[in-house]
Amino acid sequence: MIPGPFTYHRPESVQEAVRLLGELGEEARPLAGGHSLIPMMKLRLATPEHLIDLHGIGDLKGISREGDHIVIRAMTTQHELLASDLIAASLPILHETALLIADPQVRYCGTIGGNVANGDPGNDMPGLMLTLDATYELQGPEGRRSVAAREFYQGAYFTALEPGEILTAVSVPVPPAGHGYAYEKLKRKIGDYATAAAAVVLTMDGGTVATCAIGLTNLSETALLAEEAAKAVIGTSLDDAALKRAADAARAIMAPAGDGRGPAEYRIHVGGIMVERALKRAAARIRAA
Partner 1 sequence: MNDMTLTREQREARLEGMGCKRKRVEDIRFTQGKGQYVDDVKLPGMLHGDFVRSPYPHARIKSISTEKALKVPGVLAVLTAETLKTVNLAWMPTLAGDVQMVLADGKVLFQNQEVAFVVATDRYAADDGINAVEVEYEQLAVLVDPFKAMDADAPVLREDIKDKTDGAHGPRKHYNHIFEWTVGDKDLTDAAFRKAEVTIKEMISYHRTHPSPLETCQCLCAFDKVKGELTIYGTFQAPHVIRTVVSLIAKLPEQKIHVIAPDIGGGFGNKVGAYPGYICAAVASIVTGKPVKWVEDRIENLTATSFARDYHMTTEIAATKEGKVTGLRVHVLADHGAFDACADPSKWPAGFFNIVTGSYDFPVAHLAVDGVYTNKAPGGVAYRCSFRVTEAAYCIERAMDILARKLGMDPAELRLKNFVRPEQFPYHSALGWEYDSGDYHTAMKKALESVKYAELRKEQAAKREAFRRGETREIMGIGISFFTEIVGAGPSKNCDILGIAMFDSCEIRLHPTGSGIARVGTKSQGQGHETTWAQIIASEIGIPADDIMVEEGNTDTAPYGLGTYGSRSTPVAGAAIAMAARKIKAKAQMIAAYKLEVHEDDLEWDIDGFRVKGLPEKFLGMKDICWIAYNAPPPGLEPGLEAVSYYDPPNMTYPFGAYICVMDIDVDTGVYKVRRFYALDDCGTRINPMIIEGQVHGGLTEAFAIAMGQEIRYDEAGNVMTGSFMDFFLPTAVETPHWETDFTVTPSPHHPIGAKGVGESPNVGGVPCFSNAVNDAYSFLGATHIQMPHDFWRNWKAAKELGAV
> Angle of helix 240-253 relative to helix 264-288, nearest 10 degrees?
140
Q: Where are the beta strands (DSSP E) in 91-217?
A: 135-140, 143-148, 153-155, 158-159, 166-173, 180-186, 196-205, 208-217
Contact map string, positions 220 to 259, toward partner 1, x by CB under 8 A: ---------------------------------------x
> SS3 sequence, 116-132?
HHCCCCCCCHHHHHHHH
Question: Of the ranges 21-29, 77-85, 149-157, 265-273, which one interacts with partner 1 (CB under 8 A)?
Answer: 265-273
**Does residue 4 touch partner 1 according to CB under 8 A?**
yes
**Does residue 288 touch partner 1 according to CB under 8 A?**
no
Cα separation, 123 vs 222, whole angstroms: 9
Cα separation, 241 vs 244, whole angstroms: 5
Nearest distance in Å: CB 26, partner 1 = 20
Question: Around 9, how many Cα atoms within 13 Å sit in the side-chain half-sphere?
Answer: 22
**Does residue 12 touch partner 1 according to CB under 8 A?**
no
**Does residue 281 touch partner 1 according to CB under 8 A?**
no
Question: Of the ranges 155-163, 168-176, 198-206, 266-274, which one interacts with partner 1 (CB under 8 A)?
Answer: 266-274
Q: Are 202 and 209 in contact (CB under 8 A)?
A: yes
Binds partner 1 (CB under 8 A): choice among 49, 55, 106, 266 = 266
**Does residue 44 touch partner 1 according to CB under 8 A?**
yes
Q: Which amino acid is at 6?
A: F
Cα separation, 60 vs 73, whole angstroms: 5
> For residues 100 and 160, which CB has a smaller minimum distance to partner 1 in the complex?
100
Q: Are 286 and 180 in contact (CB under 8 A)?
A: yes
Burial of 22 (0-12, 13-18, 19+ CB in 10 A): middle
Nearest distance in Å: CB 272, partner 1 = 10
> For residues 79 and 277, which CB has a smaller minimum distance to partner 1 in the complex?
277
> For residues 35 and 73, which CB has a smaller minimum distance to partner 1 in the complex?
35
**Does residue 45 touch partner 1 according to CB under 8 A?**
no
Binds partner 1 (CB under 8 A): choice among 25, 104, 155, 191 = 191
Q: Are 59 and 13 in contact (CB under 8 A)?
A: yes
Binds partner 1 (CB under 8 A): choice among 103, 151, 162, 239 = 103
Q: Are 108 and 79 in contact (CB under 8 A)?
A: yes
Task: List residues bridging with 147 in a β-sheet.
Answer: 136
Nearest distance in Å: CB 192, partner 1 = 7
The footprint of partner 1 (CB under 8 A) covers 1-2, 4-5, 44, 103, 186, 188-193, 195, 259-263, 266, 269-270, 273
